[in-house]
Structure 1
Amino acid sequence: MFLAYILSTIRDHLRYRQSIRELTKLSDRDLEDVGISRHEIDTIASNARA
């Protein structure tokens, strides 16, 4: 049970980091095209964890 929790937490963190990595690669214009601004990246990546 505890191991499953640890693995889930690690997967969530990896998903968060991957989202940050992908979104920061986009230009401001590309981000604008999808309807987000650069300062929202952390919030969006945090929501990807759930």
Structure 2
Amino acid sequence: MTFANYTRATETGLGLEISAALHHLMQRFSDYRIYRATLNELQKLDDRSLADLGLHRSGLRSAALEAVYGIQN
């Protein structure tokens, strides 16, 4: 009995590095857009709504950073 194997060469070298860099850049841009949208939504809330969420206007940037990137500032 005969078996036919098909092996596809994986992409290596410069093409893979460019692809990874492009993917990283697109991910960062997407995260930044989500951060800006989150910050804009929080800024639209009145002080009472922010207080209900346990937030103050001075901490909106930190809250948006934590929500999108998971980092505390």
> Structure 1 length as normaliser, TM-score?
0.91
Equivalent residues of 1:16, 1:49 under 8 A apart: yes
Indicate if the aligned counterparts of 1:15 and 1:48 stay in contact, CA closer than 8 A: no
CA RMSD of aligned residues (A): 0.8
Amino acid in structure 1 at the alignment position of 2:44: K
Greater RCO (Cα-Cα under 8 Å, separation 6 or more): 1
Task: State how many pairs are aligned.
Answer: 50
Question: What is the percentage of aligned positions where both structures have the same residue?
Answer: 32
In the TM superposition, structure 1's runs of 4+ consecutive aligned residues that sit over 2 Å from their partners are none
Q: State the Cα distance separating 1:47 from its structure 2 match.
A: 1.1
Structure 2: state its 5+ residue gaps. Answer: 1-19
TM norm structure 2: 0.65
Larger radius of gyration: 2
Match of 1:16? 35
Task: Select which of 33, 52, 56 maps to 1:37.
Answer: 56
Structure 1 runs not aligned, ≥5 long = none
Compute the displacement of 1:49 (Å): 2.3
* Alignment deviations for residues 26-50 of structure 1 (CA, whole Å, 9 cap, x no partner): 0001100111111110001111222
